Amino acid sequence: MHICHIVLNNIGGAPKVADSLIYSQVKAGYKVSTVILTDLDPRWILSFKSAHIIIVMKIAGTLFYIGGAIHQIWVAIQLDKIVAEHKPDIIICHSAFLTKLFYLSKFMPGSLSIPYISYIHSDYLSESKIERQINPIAAFIQDFNVRIDNWIHLRAIKQASGIVFVCKTLHKKFLNLGLNHPRIAISYNPVTPDSKNPPLNSTAESWLNDSHLITFVSAARFHYPKDHQTLIKAFAKASETYSNIRLVLLGDGDLEVEMQGLANSLGIREIVLFAGSVPNPKAYFSLCRAVILASHSEGFGMVLVEAVANGVTFIASDCPVGPREISEVLNCGTIVAESDVDALAEAIIDHVKNPQQKIDRSEQIAQFFSETSCANQLESLIQQVVSR
């Protein structure tokens, strides 16, 4: 069987999951190809070395915005050409967005009828919320475009031969939208081993190894859904009680400069480190007091599982998908109300006053978040699809 994965090579967890699944499928004897869509700096492009065929499609940043509709159609045409050339037996689309692009490609003249599985890694409906236009005409056009785009997304997912959701909460959210599909798999993303251990930022290393300091870490892109604003305000409030706390922020993004300005205005720039993006944050996690995630929305929040896998607990916002389910499955972590500065500050203070011992959740990690478990779930769904 020839399995083709279509992957959007962003900095989130989906490419890592795809790479893990590809590796498992090649070991199982399948022919596997990968189509990678990317506009990233080369250092972020995963190798996908285990795939037999690798096709990299450079895409423009406008692909993700309403103004990029024409470019999306162009990408759909290219996908149709690739599928026609390599003729896989089944397609795995690693996001709702890529599912939409492949669905559009099926309308090209002469396109092949190939079953596809939609692998839903994120709560894209929450993540796609944008600032509403003030002008009523512009707002009407904006709402219309968003409604059409979401309708196409859901239509594409409904037409899939199978769907994988990365958690139960995400599945329930789609059920509420009327997406009751006969072939569903729920598969938590795996904690993937990474032998790379890049050196720590020098300032972060000095903080993390100083017994007189208590350091927290957050690993998230500087984008609106991650709500760094609430995190920085809460940390400033907590620092009024404990002056020896420190915060290391891992990530980059459009809002980084604005968040640096916020830290300056709150007078905490000296105790908050903007350390930039790191491919593997586990060294930071293993040395900190707790990992903090203050998001408005998450696909799942795999960074919290990675924190627990490295022996530390977490503080996370109760956003619609992810953190609460992780907390319940792993029986650890502190969940606070979303966008609540006071609640997050209190949680930080509590973790300073009541430090938790290193936690061992290796059994739960192995049971729910292993590469084998993830690969088996997809294998079972593929067999359902091809045998129907």
**Digits of tens for pLDDT over the chain (388 positions)?**
999 999 887 656 788 889 889 999 999 999 999 888 876 544 445 556 566 767 766 665 444 444 467 778 888 898 899 899 999 999 999 999 899 999 999 998 888 899 999 999 887 666 555 555 566 776 676 677 777 878 888 999 999 999 999 999 999 988 988 888 999 999 999 987 766 677 899 999 999 999 999 999 999 999 999 999 999 999 999 999 999 999 999 999 999 999 999 999 999 999 999 999 887 788 899 999 999 999 998 888 999 999 999 999 999 999 999 999 999 999 999 999 999 999 999 999 999 999 877 889 999 999 999 999 999 999 999 999 998 7
Contact criterion met (CB below 8 Å) for 252 and 222: yes
Residue 133 sits in the same domain as residue 210 = no
Q: What is the side-by-side strand order in the sheet with 184-186?
A: 53-58, 31-38, 2-8, 90-93, 116-120, 162-165, 184-186
Residue 113 sits in the same domain as residue 7 = yes
pTM over 0.95: no
- pLDDT tens readout for residues 299-326: 889 999 999 999 999 999 999 999 999 9
Residue 56 sits in the same domain as residue 70 = yes
Amino acid identity at 182: P
Contact criterion met (CB below 8 Å) for 309 and 330: no
Residue 321 sits in the same domain as residue 185 = no
Residue 356 sits in the same domain as residue 374 = no
Residue 173 sits in the same domain as residue 107 = yes
Residue 197 located in a structural domain: no
How far is the CA of 142 from the CAs of 40, 75, 103, in angstroms?
Answer: 27, 23, 23
pLDDT given at position 45: 52
pLDDT given at position 67: 44
Residue 43 sits in the same domain as residue 186 = yes
CA distance 334 to 328: 10
Residue 178 sits in the same domain as residue 143 = yes
CA distance 274 to 287: 17
Residue 83 located in a structural domain: yes
Domain that holds residue 325: 202-364
pLDDT given at position 43: 47
| Burial status of residue 388 (CB atoms within 10 A of its CB: 0-12, 13-18, 19 or more) | exposed
pLDDT given at position 78: 87
pLDDT given at position 62: 44
User: Can you read off the two tokens belonging to residue 91?
Assistant: 């397609």
pLDDT given at position 359: 86
pLDDT given at position 137: 73
pLDDT given at position 50: 62
Tokens 């492949």 belong to: 102
Tokens 């590796």 belong to: 23
Please report, rounded to a whole number, the percentage of residues in the chain having pLDDT higher than 70: 87
- pLDDT tens readout for residues 220-241: 999 999 999 999 999 999 999 9
CA distance 88 to 264: 54
Residue 183 sits in the same domain as residue 305 = no
How far is the CA of 226 from the CAs of 126, 229, 235, 249, 297, in angstroms?
Answer: 12, 9, 15, 12, 7
Residue 196 located in a structural domain: no
Residue 305 sits in the same domain as residue 382 = no
Instruction: Give the number of domains in the chain.
Output: 2
Residue 218 sits in the same domain as residue 343 = yes
Nearest to 48 by CA among 18, 78, 27: 18
Residue 90 located in a structural domain: yes
Domain containing 107 — which CATH number?
A: 3.40.50.2000
